[in-house]
Structure 1
């Protein structure tokens, strides 16, 4: 459980650290493209060392397709969409929307892996999505933009979906490859794309050291070391039990943004985060189909 909490704490700081790296639309630092490619290059270099040191075998052709899907979701889609969104909204706002990630992952697993979920799961998933919709409409109205979805909110929803797809396809090969090797192979397979991408998007203007610090964090910890703690914790304590620690992530993200970015601690944001997390907690209890109860009826005929 402590390894699970450690992994969640590392992932929670991803939002403020990404904002630290990209800056804002008014004062941009590193472009979201460079942050996406750069963090994957850092993680890929560390992964290459790990795979060589452990003499890991190459993935089989059957394992490469799920790894590519995990690459597109976790190494490219999620950080890129998140980076562009955080140019326009603060990390506390993003934390409320990304709180849907556990339910989104369960929904993608139900669709992709054909796992049946009970009606209660889909009802709570709809309720959680509705709460997020109310939150973004309220934030838009309170900021004088009227009632409507901002482009950044759609990017955040896309980031949640991308991460869910990456998690599910990565889980397909975790048993065969081992938890740590999944994220390592994802990062290494991405290097032919991420290295040229990082070079082409290298910043041409002066960037403060705090932005580089944010990039190093999301590359070394968010993209790599955090998965070691997270996957190892789930392997030791059971995925169902340890994954509940994800419920802490939005609150940790909101709290981390206070000292790192100077964002105010808004009670309304905390309230919506608590409401969304409650629906996630209740919904995940229905994520698995109800057990089948077999009733044995005594026969009057001799056996």
Structure 2
């Protein structure tokens, strides 16, 4: 959807890839990418990286939220709060509803990143540590690239796939070892969250090429609001909250930081640099999550962390340079 009024025109232009590109891919000229495309990719990479930083705080913030809320009430209330913020922005800027042809895609985004991933990971974090849950995020970039190849018809190079597989393997090995290598009953939730979130990311990245990224997540949140409000009321009745500073801070972050602002910059980044490349930036997310876990939850890191971080950064550099 192109901007339909002056309030959203500037935002829409900033989100679209450069002319002549597809899915943020390089323009094929002998000397490299077109000059106009390079600043767009740099800005897109920065926005996607900011999204990764926001997402890296999700698991620790969820652990804080679970100190005062039940899993169902935490997910429902975070959806309502995020929808209020998004709805306020849509109303203030007088953004018209998207065309009917986009609502199916928005439903996939809503099912994947508004409901599915938050609910499944929150249920998993009742019995799993944040370090163990981070294995999901370690495998998410590869899964997102696979969904993108199937849904969007993208064909990343062999070098891209080798680097992505090595990076995912390094992150998975590190996070599994960090959690003691034991598989728990929470793994079913985690792997289910992995699949449904990859589908939501892919569809959101596709929609962010034709409408501003913040509107993608905004309308997805609004789509869930009729279910989230009664769901929150019922969940709060069955799971009475015990408000603490940690619980409130965790709720506010997952609602505003992770559920809305993080996804805004994330979808904008994917629209600019392409879904496969943006998704590989998430290889650093488990390591960031572990750092936050140490600072906020008192967990301990192993000496392998710096080595894994270096390996991940190398893989990210390779995937960012590999042509589609």
TM-score w.r.t. length of structure 1: 0.78
Q: How does 1:155-170 map to 2 (within 5 A)?
A: 155-170=189-204
In the alignment, the residues of structure 1 paired with residue 234 and residue 291 of structure 2 have an alpha-carbon distance, to the nearest angstrom, of 35
Q: Closer, same or farther in 2 for the Cα pair 1:99/1:238, shift >3 Å?
A: same
> Is the CA contact (8 Å cut-off) linking 2:205 and 2:267 kept in structure 1?
no
Bigger CA drift: 62-71 or 261-270? 261-270
- What is the Cα deviation at residue 129 of structure 1? 5.7
Match of 2:253 in 1: 217
Which of 57, 73, 81 is the aligned partner of 1:34? 73
In the alignment, the residues of structure 2 paired with residue 124 and residue 213 of structure 1 have an alpha-carbon distance, to the nearest angstrom, of 37
> Is the CA contact (8 Å cut-off) linking 2:75 and 2:118 kept in structure 1?
yes
Which of 148, 168, 172 is the aligned partner of 2:206? 172
In the alignment, the residues of structure 2 paired with residue 192 and residue 270 of structure 1 have an alpha-carbon distance, to the nearest angstrom, of 45
Which of 293, 302, 306 is the aligned partner of 1:257? 293
Match of 1:98 in 2: 137
RMSD: 3.0
Match of 2:223 in 1: 189
- What is the Cα deviation at residue 154 of structure 1? 3.2
> Is the CA contact (8 Å cut-off) linking 2:137 and 2:282 kept in structure 1?
no
- What is the Cα deviation at residue 36 of structure 1? 1.6
- What is the Cα deviation at residue 126 of structure 1? 5.2
Match of 1:11 in 2: 55
TM-score w.r.t. length of structure 2: 0.73
In the alignment, the residues of structure 1 paired with residue 128 and residue 305 of structure 2 have an alpha-carbon distance, to the nearest angstrom, of 13
Q: Secondary structure in 1 aligned to 2:87?
A: helix
In the alignment, the residues of structure 1 paired with residue 134 and residue 50 of structure 2 have an alpha-carbon distance, to the nearest angstrom, of 18
- What is the Cα deviation at residue 221 of structure 1? 0.9
Match of 1:61 in 2: 100
> Is the CA contact (8 Å cut-off) linking 1:98 and 1:157 kept in structure 2?
no
In the alignment, the residues of structure 2 paired with residue 287 and residue 164 of structure 1 have an alpha-carbon distance, to the nearest angstrom, of 22
1:115-151 C-alpha deviation (Å, 9 max, x unpaired): 33445555555555655665576567x4xxxx76322
Q: Closer, same or farther in 2 for the Cα pair 1:272/1:132, shift >3 Å?
A: same
> Is the CA contact (8 Å cut-off) linking 1:103 and 1:283 kept in structure 2?
no
Match of 2:87 in 1: 48
Q: Secondary structure in 1 aligned to 2:225?
A: helix
> Is the CA contact (8 Å cut-off) linking 2:142 and 2:165 kept in structure 1?
no
- What is the Cα deviation at residue 12 of structure 1? 1.2
In the alignment, the residues of structure 1 paired with residue 249 and residue 53 of structure 2 have an alpha-carbon distance, to the nearest angstrom, of 17
1:140-182 C-alpha deviation (Å, 9 max, x unpaired): 7x4xxxx763222332222222211101111222232221110
Match of 1:72 in 2: 111
> Is the CA contact (8 Å cut-off) linking 2:112 and 2:200 kept in structure 1?
yes
Q: Closer, same or farther in 2 for the Cα pair 1:33/1:99, shift >3 Å?
A: same
Unaligned runs of 5+ in 1: 24-28, 289-303
Q: How does 1:95-244 map to 2 (within 5 A)?
A: 95-122=134-161, 127=166, 134=173, 138=177, 142=180, 149-202=183-236, 203-204=239-240, 206-232=242-268, 238-239=273-274
Q: Secondary structure in 1 aligned to 2:217?
A: helix
